[in-house]
Amino acid sequence: MTLGPPSSAFRHRHLLGIEGFSPEEITLLLDTAEGHVEPNRQADKKRSLMRGRTIINLFFENSTRTRTSFELAGKRLGADVINMSVSGSSIKKGETMIDTAMTLNAMHPDVLVVRHHESGAVQLLSEKVDCAVINAGDGSHEHPTQALLDALTIRRRKGRLQGLVVAICGDILHSRVARSNIHLLSIMGARVRVVAPRTLLPAEIERLGVEVFHDMRQGLKDADIVMMLRLQTERMHGSFVPSTREYFHFFGLDYEKLAAAKPDALIMHPGPMNRGVEIDSEVADDIDRSVIRQQVEMGVAVRMACLELLARDLGNGPPLP
Ligand code: CP
């Protein structure tokens, strides 16, 4: 198995977001993840890179993919992994997020993997604990490991990120996946477009260096990658689209709209999908074009890489800033 270069190339105590990462750091994370893909397909998947380490998954928001893949990633690296369910915790008795984190911190975990519905909450928590913290998604701010697994999926299929035209379509306003992907793809030299109704775009989105479209056929024209996002209704206060039926008509991905993209354009979706709302079922299941299942597979390899690179510095003196 190929492992990445020494951890001196990855000088972060926590993994809180993609913004501010260098192309070299992203490449190191992707190369390290690549080294985990084939071993993960073997019968014996267990390694000992994190033997003796403790990881706690602390999810204040629901998750299928991220929580399961962090658990698998930690276990495949030989760590002990605890899943904390907020619904069964003392948060339900009124304990705050910070008190909960400091309570867990007192048990000397090495890594806390945290998802929270408030933007910035994971950063705040990271300032209160001694261990490494990984952001598993905070509000509409960032979801760094999703962007990394998307990048690995694209790189494996297209051989590069540089110069690709990537159209990110749908609810950009509420999407942490969109933000992390915009940062990562821009840092790596891709051309990023966002395609959405005006109501689902943040003000001054152009400042992030993206091209803005309000029409799917124009936004998808000659795109290499079509990345669909669901309507994040749990973050919406009020009505942002007239109806899901109308939304699908104008912004849902079907074969007719996809025809504007390159013939070999890949279809991506971070999940969970709402079939018939942002994506047609047949398109989502198209085994030649859709890489949605591969994204899930790459999620385990990427999370192993993140855990491995952060864990390499644990116990080697004071943590890096
Ligand atoms: N893509 C993603 O974050 O999925 P989950 O909410 O299931 O973790």
State the SS3 of 83-141: EEEHHHCHHHHCCCHHHHHHHHHCCCCCEEEEEECCCCHHHHHHCCCCCEEEEEEECCC
The candidate with the shortest Cα–Cα distance to 187, out of 28, 70, 302, is 28
Residue 117 near ligand 1, beta carbon < 6 Å: no
Position 314 scores a pLDDT of: 67
Greatest alpha-carbon span in the chain: 57
| 204 C-beta neighbours (distance < 10 Å), count | 7
Residue 316 scores a pLDDT above 70: no
Among 8-17, 241-250, 256-265, top mean pLDDT goes to 256-265
First and final C-alpha spacing in the chain:
30
* Residue 8, both tokens: 């001196």
DSSP tally for the chain: helices H, then strands E = 11, 9
Residue 68 near ligand 1, beta carbon < 6 Å: no
Identity at 196, one-letter amino acid code = A
Q: Residues 216-249: pLDDT tens digits?
A: 999 999 999 999 999 977 777 767 777 889 999 9
Phi/psi for 5 (5° steps) reads: -65, 175
Residue nearest to atom 6 of ligand 1 (CA): 63
Task: Pick the atom of ligand 1 nearest to 136's CA.
Answer: 3
Residue 61 near ligand 1, beta carbon < 6 Å: no
Residue 65 near ligand 1, beta carbon < 6 Å: yes
Q: How confident is the model at residue 4 (pLDDT cuts 50, 70, 90)?
A: very low
β-pair partners for 198 = none
Ligand 1 mean position, distance from CA 235 (Å)? 15
Ligand 1 mean position, distance from CA 215 (Å)? 27
Q: What residues contact residue 39 under an 8 Å CB cut-off, 6+ apart? A: 1, 45, 47
Residue 299 near ligand 1, beta carbon < 6 Å: no
Ligand 1 mean position, distance from CA 170 (Å)? 16
Ligand 1 mean position, distance from CA 63 (Å)? 5
Ligand 1 mean position, distance from CA 167 (Å)? 20
Ligand 1 mean position, distance from CA 8 (Å)? 30
The reply to whether omega before 270 is within 30° of 0 (cis) is: no
Q: Is residue 194 within 8 Å of residue 178, measured between CB atoms?
A: yes
Residue 270 near ligand 1, beta carbon < 6 Å: yes
Alpha carbons within 13 angstroms on the beta-carbon side of residue 268 total 29
Phi/psi for 225 (5° steps) reads: -135, 135
Identity at 270, one-letter amino acid code = P
Compute the CA torsion angle 199, 153, 270, 28 (nearest 10 deg).
Answer: -90
pTM above 0.75, yes or no: yes
The candidate with the shortest Cα–Cα distance to 117, out of 62, 169, 181, 78, is 62
For the chain, give the mean pLDDT: 93
Position 1 scores a pLDDT of: 34
The candidate with the shortest Cα–Cα distance to 56, out of 15, 102, 121, 114, is 114
Q: Does residue 102 or residue 313 have the better pLDDT?
A: 102
* Residue 309, both tokens: 């690179």
Q: Is 154 exposed, middle or buried (0-12, 13-18, 19+ CB in 10 A)?
A: buried
Q: How confident is the model at residue 39 (pLDDT cuts 50, 70, 90)?
A: very high
DSSP 315: T
* Residue 73, both tokens: 């990633």
Alpha carbons within 13 angstroms on the beta-carbon side of residue 207 total 5
Residue 9 scores a pLDDT above 50: yes
Ligand 1 mean position, distance from CA 46 (Å)? 24
Q: How confident is the model at residue 86 (pLDDT cuts 50, 70, 90)?
A: confident
Position 241 scores a pLDDT of: 74
> What value does the mean pLDDT take over residues 196-213?
95
Phi/psi for 57 (5° steps) reads: -90, 115
Q: Residues 170-203: pLDDT tens digits?
A: 999 999 999 999 999 999 999 999 999 999 999 9
> What value does the mean pLDDT take over residues 44-72?
96
Residue 235 near ligand 1, beta carbon < 6 Å: no
Q: Quick one: what percent of the chain has pLDDT higher than 70?
A: 94
Q: Is residue 31 within 8 Å of residue 4, measured between CB atoms?
A: yes
Q: What residues contact residue 69 under an 8 Å CB cut-off, 6+ apart? A: 296, 299, 300, 303
Residue 63 near ligand 1, beta carbon < 6 Å: yes
Ligand 1 mean position, distance from CA 318 (Å)? 33
